[in-house]
Structures are given as structure tokens and as C-alpha cells.
Chain A
Amino acid sequence: MADGFFFQAIIYLLAAVICVPIAKKLGLSSILGYLFAGIIIGPYVLGLIGQEGQDIMHFAEFGVVMMLFLIGLELDPFKFWRMRRVIFGMGMLQLVGTAGILFIACSIVLRWEWQATVAISLALTLSSTAIVMQTLKEKGLTKTSMGRSSFAVLLFQDIAVIPILAILPLLADGHINNSNVNHSLISDLPGWLQTPIVFGTIGAVYVGGRYAIIPLLHVVAKTRLQELFTASALLLVMGVSYMMQLVGLSPALGAFIAGLVLANSEFRHELEGDIAPFKGLLLGLFFIGVGASINFAIIMADPAFILIFSTIFNTIKFFVLLLVGKIYKKSSDQNLLFAFALSQAGEFGFVILGFAVQLNLLPTVLSNQMMAVIAISMVGTPFLLLINEKWIDPFFGVKERQARNKYDTIEDDKNDVVIAGFGNFGSTIGRLLKANHIPATVLDMDSDRVDSLRKMGFKVYYGDALRLELLKAAGCENAKIFIAAIDNPRVNLQVVEIVKKHFPHLKIFARARNRNDAFELVDMGVNDFYRENLYSAVHLGVDALVEMGQRRYTATRQGQRFIKYDEAATFRLAEKKHDKKALMLSTMHEIEIQEELIKNDLYSQLGAQDHAWESEDIRKEQQDEF
């Protein structure tokens, strides 16, 4: 058994690792890489995996759930509420339009039973959230006008699955194949009770998220165990999905709501970072599953029908979408992209067709043909987008593109300054910036502190600044300044290293605990370092000089000069240290450096460098003259 599992896992992973980079190299989307990986290892090419592609898909559909959770996280409830008209308007228009035209066309041309036609029309109307959202993300289009519209339509389809699945049994004329068709807990209850339960569940997700999940995450965060947080994140998504399934709602919708609830919490970026890798893997698996489940035997049995039907249905869908976009006044290039992107059928199609077969609404052969059509249309989408990008889009002037960029910058509410670490050190910096109306995004590991700071109006996120996803989520790609002010000096240096490597455009200001930290920063090429004890120690020294009878201004100038001198010495010693790396961290060396510094202090005659306001030699000169 274990061998079988390992073998399978290796095949899936290997196929992905080989095919995806090739697809990327060819300038295609990674989705195509996964789909072809699926086709190649599937039963009709290499036959390394059998018909279980379908099962894999059911499992991997969970990736779609996670994706919606992440989408929810990125969208705060306020923005979502503003989108409600678009979601229902565009979504409804698309759904009714596409399903209606498909139904009429199929009824006229193909003469299936009307129930079958309804089921097929509805199944083909729903687009693939997985393919569309992943593609948009890859192309960086999620924040454009077409990205938002696509999302709106997809979200509406997600919601629409529920009533569709509820309507289909009404079409069945009694003899149902399979008795456990309705697998939800409450389906036996009368309708007047079902509705409040469904809404109650959604309410429970909302209230639970606010008052149970967030405090729970606080507790988990306090353990400071990264993997426990990941486990909680997974538990959260799975729990919500399961709950939704129990009441017969789509798990993706539940996950989306949960994401929405948590979007405003301080854990947002941390959750994003934790779930994203799982989502990516599962979606990859899902696409492989789609590829593997394409039944070439059925296609070969009647290739002309499948291909022509796919083309026609894609075309119908495309034009309906184009019309919807026109009604909503999209600019031409955005509208084309929108229509191409959503023109395929998706994973919900499989679900609806499977359900319809169980209800005896259509024959299995027809259903298999339709499933092949759906799979082909999913494979086709990346190609259609490629065609649009290469040959169609260039015809639409540069004007639109500039407008799009402008919109993006307005949409982007990320700050120019990112501060990592908001202890005493970092918070002082944050306060100074805030007092001067420079907003900063703050990352901190202490969830209690994060909480209280957020109440005070700081934009603070909980999370480990060592994680690249979190740094990205905090807006490092668009920021100008990165301030590394983490209490733990080791971590602070590591963060600087990561930032330096992945965001070379950022100007880094780094806190350094002591001279040794400063040396390391110099080694990394960071020249703006701030030794936390230097300035206060010098201030204290100045006060001591004053107490010993020096005038305050003279002592202060001595302090200023000392700091400059010491900073120069640090640079000098950093180079020297470079020469004898091996000795570096030993205490011996620390003492050695200390000795050298003190020796130099004596030689450099600190303080005797100028004679401002002194009249001694002027007086001498005058005496000489007389």
C-alpha cells in the first residue's frame, strides 16, 4: 500500500516538476503545464495512473476551497459590500443569458430530452474558478477592472450552484438511480426550516470568526509554534467547509465567508502565508486530475461532435460575456480579456453532470461526452488567453493600459515604509513617522502587542518577518524603505538578508545591537545601521562630562564628534574583520577590537581638532606684534 502511495505521489510530483517549467519556458501559463502533465500520465498516454483521475479531482477540489478562502482574506468586507451590485447584476446576467441561449440552441439542434438539455446548459454555464483565478493571479490581473468583474461573476456562480443542485431533482420524473442523492443533513427537514438554518450557519461563521476563531488564533500564536499555527489555519478552512457541506452549501462559499471575516484581523497575512502553499499544491493536483480525466476514448468515438460542440458552446459563452461586459461599460481590451477568461466550463460542471446522471436526467454516455467537452474547454482557456494577448490585445491602444496602471496605484493602499519589529525600538520609529504623517506598515511577532497597536490606529500585522510571503503581503515589492527593528538581533540580521536578496530596490535601515551586528550589516552592504546603545551611551557620557564641570555645549560637541569618529572606526574595523574571518566571533576578538579602539582614541586627540571661538593664538599673534 505504502509503495503504491509513494509511487503515485512520485509520478504526480515528477510530472508537475517536468511539465510546469517547460510550459513556463514556452511562455505558457503553469495551468497548461499541469493539465498536460495530467494528460501525459493519464490512462490514454502513458497510463501511469488509471481512471482515478476523477477521484483525485474530488480531493483536489479542496484547492479551490482554499483559493476562495484566500480571496476572501484579500477582500475586506467593506469592499465586498460595495461589489454586491456587480456580483448579482453581472453574475445573474451571465448565468441566465448563457444558460438560456445554450438551452435554446441545444433544443433546436440536438433534440435531447428537455431535462437533459437544462442540466447540460446549466453545467456548461458555470466557469472554472480554479483556472480563471489562478490565471489572473499569474498574470497579475486580479486588481484590474476585468479581474474584479471576473471574480464577481465567479462568486455568483459559486452561490448559484446551490439553487441549481436544489432545482435539478424537481426535473427528475420519479425513478432516481441512487437513493443518497441529497447528502446534506437538513435536506429531510421542511423547506421553511431549511432556509433559517442555512442563514444561521452563515451567521455562525461570521460570529464564530469574530469571537471564537480570532481569540483562538491569539492563543495559538502565543505558543510561538509555527506549525501549530499552520495546523489551526488548515483546521479552520476544513472545519468551515465541512460545516457548509452539512447544511448543503458549497464549501467554497463557506471558506470565502470565513476569509472575509478574517480579512480585517491582524492574522490576515500569516494565514495567507500558511494556506497559500497548500492551495498551490492542491490546485496543481486538481489541474493534473482534470488532464488525466479527459476520456480520449469517448472523444475518439465521435471527435467531430465533441470538437464542434466545444467550439460552439465556447463561442456562445464568449459572446454572452462580451455583451455583459458591454452593458457594464468595460473598455474593449478589458472586456475581451474578461470574455476569453470566463468562456470555459468548470469544475462545478462535473458536479452538476454527475448529480444529473444520478437523477437519471441524462444518459451516462452523453454525460461523459459533456465532461470531455468541459475538460477540453478548460484546457483551451490558457490558449485562448494567449491568442488574445499576442494577436488581439495589441490592436487596442496603449491608452487603456495607462489608465489601468493609474487605477492600480489608486487601488493600492500599501505604505512606502515597512517596519519589522515593533518593540520599544521600532515603535519609537513608528511614532515619529506617524507624528509626521508618514504611514508605515508594521510586522510584529507579539500578537498581544499587535492587537493593542491596531486599536491605536497603527497598520500592524502579526507574523514572522522571516517569511517571504509575509514580506510580500506587507507590500515590500512596492515600498521604498524597510526598517529592520526586531528585538532579536539574529532574526533581525536574517530579515535584512532576505530583504536584501528579494527586494533589492528597498532602502534598508537596520537596528544593530552592537558593533558585531554592525560588522555583519556592513558585510551585507547595509551602511545605514544604528547601534542601539551607542547614542544613549554617548549622551550619558556627555552628561557625565557636564557633571565634571565641562560646559554643556563643549561636552555636546565632543559627543557629536565621538559618534562620528566611532562610526568611521566601525567601517574601518569591519573591513579589517573581513581579513580574519575565522577569528570573528571569538571573545578574544571582541577584546582585541576594544583595545584597538581605546588605543586609537588616544592617538586621534579627540577634541583638539579645531579651535573655534578660541582666541589664544590670536592673542599670541598680537603680543608678538607689539
Chain B
Amino acid sequence: MSDHTLAPVRTVTLHVNGQPVVVSAMADTPLLLILRNDLQLNGPKYGCGLGECGACTVIIDGVAARTCVFPLSGAEGRTITTLEGLGSRAQPHLVQQAFIDEQAAQCGYCMNGMIMTAKALLDRIPHPSEAQVRNELSANLCRCGTHLEIIRAVMLAARQMP
């Protein structure tokens, strides 16, 4: 495909945080931009645009997904959960609460990806080993060096999993 050919505009129905939403944009628009700009969600963050750092992670159909490389056209009909969909400051999800309890942020820009990736892991493996946690987060980058607090947060959340 030529670099500068435009993808057609698509109108797509998504299910985001429990609500159906209809958006129209070029079919290849990264889902990240749709979530942030059309749906005004702050959770998923732009970090690299190459799926390398994980800051943009959401959960799509139960699996962690990197929205910077996930086109709108692929999201049609799928169920998407963002950080906001997990819980709020007043009623945080247990993974969010564990990150707060363990102070698992310095700048916190990567935290969305860490929480969403951890949530997807715990849904799949409720009681992972620390090695499994390190593996699962191995492609989520943190520049401030909060890794130890993040691991502790995920292990704390795991202990509280049913």
C-alpha cells in the first residue's frame, strides 16, 4: 500500500467500558487516538507508536492489547476495557488499589500499561509467581525505575484475587 493513500472513513461500533459507542474515522486510525480524542479517555497513553513500551495498553476481548498499533477497523464489535473501566479513584479495582498501596509510580506515565497488563494476567492466572509477573511485564517499559514497587503491587493484587 502506498504510504500516503488514505484509508476510507469507517463508522464503527465499539463496546468501551460497558457502553456501546459509535465513532467515525479513517479505518487505520490507531484505536489509541479514538479512545483518547473521541472518547476523551486519559488512561491509555501514547508512548512509542510501535507496540514496544506498553503505555497504551487496554484490554480487548479479555486480552491485553496495544492500541497504538491497533487500527479502528479491527476494533469493530469488540469489547474494550480501559483504565477508567476498571474503577475510579472512589472505587478502584483491586489492581489499581494495589498500585496505590505499593506506591507503584514515580512519574506514573507507564502505570496505565502496567495496571492493564497485570489485570489481564491476573484474569488468566490469578496467582502467578514473581517470575511470571516479570515475564508478563517484560515488554512494558518504565524509565523512572519503579519496577520493584510494580512487582510488589502485582503480587499484592494477586494475593487478593479470589
Q: Do A and B bind each other?
A: no
